[in-house]
Structure 1
Amino acid sequence: MQDTTFGALGVPAPLVAALAKDDKTTAFPIQVDTLPDTLAGRDVLGRGRTGSGKTLAFSIPMAARLGTQLAGGKRRPGRPLGLVLAPTRELATQIDAVLAPLAAAYGMTTTTIYGGINQRRQVEALNAGVDIVVACPGRLEDLMKQGFVRLDAVEVTVLDEADHMADLGFLPVVTRLLAATPEHGQRMLFSATLDNGVDKLVKRFLHNEVLHSIDDEISPVEAMTHHVFMIDGAEAKKDLVEKLASGLGRRILFTRTKHHAKKLAKQLTASGIPSVDLHGNLSQPQRDRNLAAFSDGSARVLVATDVAARGVHVDNVELVVHVDPPIEHKAYLHRSGRTARAGSSGTVATVCLPNQRDDLKKVLRKAAITVTPQNVTASSAVVTELVGETAPYVKPAPKPVQQRGGGTSQGANARRKRAARGSDAAGRGRDQANARSTRDASAADRPRKDRSGRPAAVKQGQQRSGQPRGARGSGQPARQGGSRGVYSTSTSGGGQATGGARTHRRVSTH
C-alpha cells in the first residue's frame, strides 16, 4: 500500500508544516481513514489500539477547525473552544504535547487540567483565556463548580480512551461534562471497546457518527512476540526479572501493587540497572520527573502499576514484562500495548509462578493470545536470547551525606534550630519559675495578720505557703543549700533563721 501524505488528505498547509518539523509526513492507517470525515466536521467513533496514531487523528482536525473557522475571535477567559477529556494525568500531558504545536501554528493556546497538583496555575491559564483544554474529568468538573470555566463555547470535543474512563468510574462525570457542551459541536470518541456504558455515551452525544475501526485492541497485535516464563519460586523470580531488565533498550515492568513497584525499582537501581517507578502514590512532579528520566534514557527501566498501562506513551519500548500477571485480559492487552507502537515490533514476557498458571491461562484465552509456557531460569538460552546484549553496570548515585548525629546537613541544621528554640524556651521557663519562686518566698516572709493587724498564728500541722514540706514541726532543717539558705522552725517563738543568701522569719506554731 502506498504511503499517504497529510497534504493529500486535505490537512491545511500550516499544520502540514508543523507536522513536518516533527518529522511527521506520512499518515498512519487510522489517520488515513478518519481525517477526511473529521476535517469535514463529522462526528467520529474510532476504535483503535493504543499506539495506532489516535492522538494525531483527533488533534489535526481540532486544530484545523478551530484555527481556520474560529480564529480571529476574541479569546474569552474561562471559555475554551476545544476540549479533550483523558482518563489519566500522564495521557493528558502527552496529548497536550502533540496538540500544542498544531494549535500554535494558528496562534492558539492550550493547557492541561488535572488533579494531584495545586489548581492555581490552571486557574491562571483559564483566566488569561485559553483556546483548547486537555483535562481529566474530576478536576475539570471541580473548576466548573467553582466558576472558573464554562463549556458553553466548546466547538470540538474529544473523549479519548472512553473504555478506560468507564473502568475508572468516570462515566457519570464525563456525561455531565459532555452535557455542558453545545449540542451542535463536533464530537469525536475513541475507545478500544464499547462496553461498560461507553455505548450509551455514543448514542446520546454523537450524531450521525462515522465508525472507524483500526487494529481493534481486543485482538492480538501481530507485531508482538509473547512469552510465558514459568519459574519455581520467589528467589528464581527475582533473578529472572533482574535478567529481563538488564538489556540495552527501554523496558516497562508491570507489578500488581504500588509497594512492589517502588521496591523493585530500588532493587534494580541498586543492582546497576537505572530504574524509576510510576504508581498512584507519587505526586505529579515525581511522576513527571520519572517519566522524563525514562523518556530521555537516563533510566532504562520503568516499573509501573496498571495506572501506567494507558497513560504512558513512550516510543521504542522493546520489552514489556508482566512481573505480576494481570487478573483480567484487558489489563494484559493494555499493558502489552506499551510496546510495538507506531508500527514497530516488540516483545511481551509474563513471569508466572506455579500457583498462577491456571488464572493466566484464562486471561490469555480471553485476550486471544496463543503462547506455550516455558520452564526457565535466569540463565536459560531463551531468556538470554530475548535480553540480547546486557547494558553496562551503572553505579547507583550515592546517598545524601550524613552528618554527625545522623541525617543530612539540612536536617541537622533544622534540628539545631529546633534545639536552640527549645533551649530558649527552657531558659525562659527557668527565668519565669525563678521569678515565681522569689515572689512566693517574699510572700512567705511577710507574716499573716489578723483583722486587728497582729500576726496570725498557723494551726498545728498546717503548711505555710512557701514553707518546705519536710519542715512541719520537726525542728530540723528541711533543706540545705548554698544560695537558698537554711530553713528552720521553732516551737518557742521569736528570733530568726538565717542562712546563705536568703533570710526567713521563723513561724510560730503556738
Structure 2
Amino acid sequence: MQFERPSKIQEISLPMILTPPYKNLIAQAHNGSGKTTCFVLGMLSRIDPKLAAPQALCICPTRELAIQNMEVLLKMGKFTGITSELGIPADSANYIPISKRPPVTAQVVIGTPGTINKWVTARKLGMSYMKILVFDEADHMLAESGFQDDSIRIMKAIVKASANCQVLLFSATFGENVKAFVTKIVQDLFVQDYNQMFVKKEELSLDSVKQYKVQCPDELSKIMVIKDRILELGQKVGQTIIFVRTRNSASMLHKSLVDYGYEVTTIQGALRQEDRDKIIKEFKDGLTQILISTDLLARGFDQSQVNLVVNYDLPVRHESPTEPDHEVYLHRIGRAGRFGRKGAIFNLLCSDRDNMLMSKIENHFNHQVAEIPSWNSEEDFENALKIAGLL
C-alpha cells in the first residue's frame, strides 16, 4: 500500500490503540492525515481469526464512507483471512427482510448507524464478543443534529454485552459542545481510563491547500467562473468537486454545465443507493473528472486525484442560516490536498451574506483567504493555480 513512514496521527495514536490495556481514545487529526489506517489496523489487530463472530464494529455517517473504509480494510487485511460485512441500506435488488437474514458471523462489521441499530435490535448482530468499537467522523455521529440517538443506543448495547470493549472516536473536527458531550459519554458509559488528542482550531486549516475567494456579481457569473476559468484550467490538474447547499442547486448547476458541453456527475441523498454507488465508483476510477455534491461527500471521502474544490455555496448551520458551519467548511476543503498533496479551493461569493459568512470563517480559523482580483480574468486564475503549486 506504499506506506513509507507513519503520519503524525499514526505515530502517536497507533501505540495507544495497539498496546494493552487497550484504553479508549478520542482523537482529532487533520483531513487526509491517515486516520483510517489507524483504526483499521486497530480492528484487524484485535480479531481472533478462529472465532466466527463479530469482534470489531466501525460506524460511519454515510454509506459512501462505510464502503470506502471497507475497501481499506480489505486491502490491509488481504492475507489475514479475517471476514467482514457491510451494514448499509441494501439497494432494491439485494433487499432481504431483516427477519429472514441470518445472524451476522463476520468478524468485522462496518456500517451506518440506522442499519447497525436495526440489526442489533433484531438480535441479528450480537455484541458478546465485541472487542473494539470505532466511530468515524465521531463529532457528526454524536452531535444532536447528527446520529446521536442511534450512536448512543449502539454504545449502550455494547457496554451491556461486552463491558471491556475498546472505543475509538476519530474526526477532523470537534466543536466545543460536541467535544464536551463526547468526553462525558466516554467517561459515563465506558468507565475505564481513556486517552485524547485534540488539535487547536487555528492549526486545522490545511497549509498544503491554497484557499481563494472570488467576488462574482451575480449567480450567472458564478456558473461562468466555473465553466470558463476553473474547469478549463482544472482539466490540466486533476479532478474537481463542486459543493452546493441544496439538491435544487445541484440539479440547476448540473444542467447548466451539461448544456455547455461538460461531462459532470452529481451526487445527493435523494438518489437510489445503487446510483450513488455507481457515481462514486466512476469518479474514483477516473471515468469522470467533475463531481457536483451536496454535503453528503464533505466528510471522509478520499480521492487522491482531487486537486480542486469549489464552494458554489458556503456551508451554513441548518438551525441558523446566517452562521457558517465551520466544521463542514473544513471537511469540504479537506477533499483536496489529501495526505499533504497540493490543492486549491475557490469560494464563490455573490452577496453581502456570502461575504459575511466568509468573514466569519476567516475569523474562526484566524486565517485570511486570498482574493482573486477579477472573476473574469484567466490570468488571475492561472496565477492562483501556480501559487497553489498546481500549474
Counterpart of 2:351? 354
Residue 231 of structure 2, aligned match among 221, 224, 245: 245
Kindly tell me: are residues 54 and 232 of structure 1, through their superposed partners in 2, closer, same or farther at Cα, counting changes over 3 Å?
A: same
Deviation of 1:128 after TM superposition, in Å, equals 6.2
1:137 Cα deviation after fit: 0.8
- State the distance in 1 between where 2:208 and 2:97 align: 40
Query: For the Cα contact (< 8 Å) 1:114–1:136, is it kept in 2?
Result: yes
Query: Do structure 1's residue 171 and structure 2's residue 148 form an aligned pair?
Result: yes
The alignment of Structure 1 onto Structure 2 pairs a total of residues equal to 360
- Equivalent residue letter for 1:209: Y
1:378 counterpart (376, 388, 391): 376
Flag the 1:217–1:94 CA change in 2: closer, same or farther, 3 A: farther
Superposition deviation, residue 342 in structure 1: 0.9
Matched-pair contact (CA < 8 Å) for 2:30–2:204: no
Residue in 1 that maps onto 2:128: 152
Give the C-alpha shift of residue 59 in structure 1: 0.6
When normalised by structure 2's length, the TM-score is 0.85
Aligned to 1:336: 333
Aligned to 2:219: 234
Normalized against structure 1, the TM-score is what? 0.66
CA radius of gyration, larger in: 1
Q: In structure 2, what is the equivalent of residue 108 of structure 1?
A: 82
Q: Greater CA deviation, 40-49 or 266-275?
A: 266-275
After superposition, where does 1:28-47 map in structure 2 within 5 Å? 28-40=7-19, 41-47=22-28
Map 1:116-127 onto structure 2 (within 5 A).
117-118=91-92, 120=95, 127=103
Aligned mates of 2:350, 2:291 — CA distance in 1: 22
C-alpha distance after superposition, 1:382-441 (max 9, x if no partner): 1233468xxxxxxxxxxxxxxxxxxxxxxxxxxxxxxxxxxxxxxxxxxxxxxxxxxxxx
Partner of 1:203: 187
Structure 2 unaligned runs (5+)? 317-323, 387-391
Q: Tell me, yes or no, if structure 1 residue 62 matches structure 2 residue 36.
A: no
Q: CA deviation at 1:278?
A: 1.3
CA change 1:341–1:121 in 2 (3 A) is farther
- Write the deviation string for residues 57-82 of structure 1: whole angstroms up to 9, x where unpaired: 1111210121xxx2223x14xxx111
Q: Show the counterpart of 2:59.
A: 85
Pairwise CA distance, 1:174: 0.7
Which residue of 181, 185, 189 maps to 2:169?
189
Q: Residue 379 of structure 1 aligns to which amino acid in structure 2?
A: S
Partner-residue secondary structure (3-state), 1:163? helix
Q: Which moved more, 1:168-177 or 1:377-386?
A: 377-386
What secondary structure does 1:261 align onto? helix
CA gap 1:146/1:235 in 2 versus in 1, 3 angstroms: same
The 2-side partners of 1:386 and 1:301 are apart by 20
8 Å Cα contact 2:225/2:376 also seen in 1: yes
Cα 1:255/1:92, change in 2 over 3 Å = same
How far 1:217 sits from its partner (Å)? 8.5
User: Which moves more between the two structures, 378-387 or 42-51?
Assistant: 378-387
Measured after TM superposition, the shift of residue 375 of structure 1 is 4.6
Say if 1:51 and 1:341, in contact at 8 Å, map to a contact too.
yes
The share of aligned pairs that are identical, in percent, is 26
Name which of 351, 358, 363 aligns with 2:361.
363
Provide the C-alpha distance between the structure 1 equivalents of 2:370 and 2:104, rounded to a whole number of angstroms: 58
2:104–2:125: 8 Å Cα contact kept in structure 1? Answer: no
Name the CA distance, whole Å, in 2 between partners of 1:111 and 1:125.
Answer: 13
Mapped partners of 2:81, 2:97: distance in 1: 20
Q: In the TM superposition, what are the counterparts of 1:203-282 in structure 2 within 5 Å?
A: 203-206=187-190, 207-213=192-198, 219-242=204-227, 243-246=229-232, 247-248=234-235, 249-282=238-271
The answer on whether the counterparts of 1:50 and 1:217 sit within 8 Å (CA) in structure 2 is no
Q: More strand by proportion, 1 or 2?
A: 2
AA at the equivalent of 1:177: I
Letter in 1 for 2:334: G
* Structure 1 residue 186, shift from structure 2 partner: 1.6
* Separation in 2, partners of 1:65, 1:370: 44
Give the letter aligned to residue 360 of structure 2. K
User: 1:347 and 1:114 mapped to 2: Cα distance?
Assistant: 33
CA contact (8 A) 2:55 2:132 kept: yes
- Using a 3 Å threshold, how does the CA distance of structure 1 residues 335 and 49 change in structure 2: closer, same or farther? same
SS state at 2:225 partner: helix
Secondary structure of the residue aligned to 1:169 is: coil
CA contact (8 A) 1:262 1:303 kept: no
Aligned partner letter, 1:105: F
Conserved? CA contact 1:339–1:347, under 8 Å: yes
Partner deviation per Cα, 1:22-47 (whole Å, 9 max, x = no partner): 22242221111111121112322211
CA deviation vs aligned residue, 1:443-502 (integer Å, no higher than 9, x gap): xxxxxxxxxxxxxxxxxxxxxxxxxxxxxxxxxxxxxxxxxxxxxxxxxxxxxxxxxxxx
Over 3 Å counting, the alpha-carbon distance change for 1:125 and 1:292 in structure 2 is farther
Deviations 1:182-236 (A, max 9, x none): 1111221113215333233232345311223468697311112111100111222
Q: Is the 8 A contact 1:43 1:210 kept in 2?
A: yes
Higher relative contact order, structure no. (Cα contacts within 8 Å, ≥ 6 residues apart): 2
CA distance in 1, matches of 2:369, 2:202: 18
* Deviation for aligned residue 1:237: 1.7
Where 2:12 maps in the other structure, the secondary structure is helix
Instruction: Give unmatched runs, 5+ long, in structure 1.
Output: 1-21, 389-510
Deviations 1:88-118 (A, max 9, x none): 1111111111112333432111111123635
Match in the other structure for 1:301: 290
Q: Which residue of 1 aligns with 2:49?
A: 71
In the alignment, the residues of structure 2 paired with residue 364 and residue 52 of structure 1 have an alpha-carbon distance, to the nearest angstrom, of 22
Aligned to 1:52: 33
Secondary structure, aligned partner of 1:251: strand
